[in-house]
Amino acid sequence: MKDFFQHRQGPLPKSGPCFIGILNVTPDSFSDGGQFISPDRALTQARRLAASGVSMLDLGAESTRPGAAAVTPDDEWARLKPVLAMLQEQLPDIPLSLDTRHHQVAAKGLEAGISVLNDVTGFSDPAMLELAKHSDCGLIAMRSRLRDGSLWMPEYDDPASRSAELALAEMRCMRDRLLEAGIAQERIVLDPGFGFGMTYNEDFALWNLLPRLPAMLSWPIRRFCIGISRKRFLPWRNGTPGLSSLHRDGLTDFAHQEAEAMGYRVFRTHELP
Would you state the pLDDT for residue 199? 87
From first to last of its 273 residues, the chain has per-residue pLDDT tens of 567 777 666 666 667 799 999 999 887 544 545 566 678 889 999 999 999 999 999 999 987 765 666 789 999 999 999 999 999 999 999 999 999 999 999 999 999 999 999 999 999 999 999 999 999 999 999 999 877 766 666 766 566 567 899 999 999 999 999 999 999 999 999 999 998 888 888 999 999 999 999 999 999 999 999 999 999 899 999 999 999 988 999 999 999 999 999 999 999 999 998
Burial code (b: 16+ CB inside 10 Å, e: under 16) for 58-83 equals bbbbbbbbeebeebebeebbebbbeb
Architecture of domain 17-64+72-149+158-269: Alpha-Beta Barrel (3.20)
Q: Considering only CA atoms, which of 101, 10, 31, 21 is closest in space to residue 59?
A: 21
Is residue 3 classed exposed, middle or buried when 0-12, 13-18 and 19+ CB atoms within 10 A define those classes? middle
Counting beta carbons within 10 angstroms of the beta carbon of residue 29, is it exposed (0 to 12), middle (13 to 18) or buried (19 or more)? buried
The rounded distance, in Å, linking the Cα atoms of 236 and 198 is 13
- Distance between CA atoms of 173 and 178, rounded to whole angstroms? 9
How far are the Cα atoms of 87, 107, 161, 179, 264 from residue 58, in angstroms, in the given order? 11, 16, 31, 24, 19
**This prediction's pTM:** 0.92
Residue 4 contacts residue 223 (beta carbons within 8 Å): yes
The Cα-based distances of 177 to 53, 172, 191 in angstroms read: 33, 8, 14
* CA triple 188-85-115, angle to 5 deg: 15
CA distances from 225 to 39, 47, 81, 120, 264 (A): 27, 22, 26, 12, 8
